[in-house]
């Protein structure tokens, strides 16, 4: 007997809970998957709380077979992205489904139809929801758990998307760094030059002035990445949301800001890899999850960190000064974490064609160990 697949929009609390539940069954036997915290995911999908919804239209969909949820997807149109690129692209995200061509095809068709009805001529993804959130489909590196705010996937997704006519738009790399010895002399020399320059100041984040410090970080980011593929500038509301996360997770020394002649010119931001803490919670903070999480956060340094933000003002790109400023900012947070006993880090994500930054990371000893792919397809 043929079992038909139906797809419909998420409506109400029960559907939203089912949307969040879908991956739990899919990854039950995957030792590397980290269950996201329900509380955080509810907030991310909340139209009142996530600032993304203030400039984007979103629909969530669930796939059912015989009344049982077997897949999910989002479709979204970001007004800021559309105004910036005017390329007709809409996006999909949150793709999770059984290893079943009918389920994945039905979900992609529904997302494509929704976008096409709103004028899109191309579909790209996955984005959960924007390029400033979790992005890309994992295609290499399934044998290690994801770092904080990075995705995981089953190997079969790529084959299903490619069978549906999706092609590579861009690859992103996650670099792994393990502190096993001395850094190359060239890096130490560049760091020493920057610190010896009377025009250069390398300093930590001042959490007492968090609002103004965040504006500095995002101003550098918006300038540094303005020419990057797919970049959409951070908004003021997104800055506030970032500040909330930073205030909970980090001390000032997790961040370094490099100033040149009084102007902030480069920055490096690290976060504790909280995925290592929440993995044991299976998505739930109650009844004892809060206690376990708080103990891990405050009782000892993290075993690993992730550097999600790193940037240099565009006027300093491709200059010796610029390279020294970036290296000095990275070294500042690097030395802080190593002094506390942290020996592992992920630097992610890096565009495949961002060769200057990849060279710096690889000089530090970073090795690409995960590849995430953004796919695209023209809409009929």
Q: How far is CA 127 from CA 58, 95, 123, 136, 255, in A?
A: 12, 9, 11, 6, 26
Q: Structure pTM?
A: 0.94
Alpha-helical segments (H) within 27-100: 38-44, 79-85
Tens-place pLDDT, residues 275-324: 888 888 887 765 555 556 665 666 688 899 999 999 999 999 999 999 99
Instruction: Give CA–CA dist 190/154, Å, rounded.
Output: 41
CB 10 within 8 A of CB 61: yes
pLDDT, position 286: 54
Q: Is 211 exposed, middle or buried (0-12, 13-18, 19+ CB in 10 A)?
A: exposed
* Domain limits, the chain: 5-171, 181-342
Model pLDDT for residues 21-39, shown as the tens digit of each residue: 999 999 999 999 999 999 9
User: What angle (nearest 5°) sits at the alpha carbon of residue 21, between those of residues 120 and 282?
Assistant: 130
Question: Residue 175, Cβ neighbours under 10 Å: how many?
Answer: 22
pLDDT for res 298: 64
* Residue-wise pLDDT tens digits, 176-221: 998 877 888 888 888 999 999 999 999 999 989 988 998 999 999 9
- The reply to whether domains 5-171 and 181-342 share a CATH topology is yes
Question: Helix or strand or coil: residue 147?
Answer: coil
User: What are the structure tokens assigned to 244, written together?
Assistant: 């909330």
Backbone angles phi, psi at 132, to 5 degrees: -95, 5
Which of the 8 DSSP states describes residue 284? Answer: -
Query: Residue 32: CA atoms inside 13 Å, Cβ hemisphere, count?
Result: 14
| Burial (Cβ within 10 Å: 0-12, 13-18, ≥19) of residue 201 | middle
* Neighbouring-strand partners of residue 97: 71
> Which tokens sit at 220?
């550098």
Angle at 352 between CA 350 and CA 354, to 5 degrees: 70
Q: What's the CA dihedral at 101, 107, 111, 116 to 10 degrees?
A: 50
- CA–CA distance, 219 with 223 (Å, rounded to integer): 6
* Paired tokens of 94: 């949150």
Contact 269, 308 (CB under 8 A): yes
CATH classification number, 5-171, choose in 3.30.2130.30, 3.40.630.30, 3.40.50.10780, 3.40.50.620:
3.40.630.30
- The CATH topology of domain 181-342 is Aminopeptidase (3.40.630)
Those residues with Cβ within 8 angstroms of residue 320's Cβ, 6 or more apart along the chain or in another chain: none
- What are 210-246's pLDDT values in tens digits? 889 989 999 999 999 999 999 999 888 888 887 777 7
């Amino acid at each position: 007997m043929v079992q038909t697949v139906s797809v419909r929009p998420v409506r109400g609390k029960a559907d939203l809970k089912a949307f969040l539940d879908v991956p739990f069954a899919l990854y039950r036997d995957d030792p590397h998957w980290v269950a996201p915290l329900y509380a955080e995911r509810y907030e991310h999908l909340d139209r009142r709380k996530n600032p993304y919804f203030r400039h984007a239209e979103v629909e969530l969909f669930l796939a059912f077979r015989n009344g049982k949820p077997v897949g999910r997807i989002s479709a979204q149109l970001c007004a800021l992205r559309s105004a910036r690129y005017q390329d007709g692209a809409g996006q999909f995200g949150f793709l999770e489904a059984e290893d079943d061509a009918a389920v994945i095809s039905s979900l992609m068709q529904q997302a494509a139809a929704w976008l096409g009805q709103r004028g899109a001529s191309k579909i790209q993804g996955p984005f959960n929801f924007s390029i400033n959130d979790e992005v890309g489909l994992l295609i290499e590196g399934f044998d290690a758990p994801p770092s904080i705010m990075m995705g995981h996937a089953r190997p079969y997704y790529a084959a299903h998307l490619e069978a549906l006519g999706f092609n590579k738009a861009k690859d992103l790399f996650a670099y792994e760094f393990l502190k096993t010895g001395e850094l190359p002399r060239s890096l130490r020399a560049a760091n020493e030059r920057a610190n010896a320059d009377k025009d250069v100041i390398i300093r930590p984040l001042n959490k007492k002035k968090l609002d103004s410090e965040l504006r500095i970080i995002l101003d550098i980011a918006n300038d540094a990445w303005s020419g990057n593929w797919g970049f959409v500038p951070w908004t003021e509301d997104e800055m506030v949301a970032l500040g909330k996360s930073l205030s909970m997770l980090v001390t000032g020394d997790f961040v370094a800001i490099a100033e040149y002649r009084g102007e902030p010119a480069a920055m490096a931001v690290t976060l504790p890899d909280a995925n290592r803490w929440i993995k044991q919670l299976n998505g739930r903070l109650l009844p004892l999850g809060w206690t376990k999480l708080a103990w891990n956060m405050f009782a000892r340094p993290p075993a690993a960190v992730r550097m999600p933000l790193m940037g240099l003002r565009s006027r300093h790109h491709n200059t010796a000064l610029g390279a020294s400023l970036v290296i000095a900012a990275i070294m500042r947070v690097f030395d802080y974490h190593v002094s506390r006993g942290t020996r592992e880090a992920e630097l992610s994500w890096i565009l495949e064609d961002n060769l200057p930054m990849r060279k710096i990371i690889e000089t530090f000893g970073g090795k690409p160990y995960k590849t995430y792919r953004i796919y695209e397809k023209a809409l009929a």
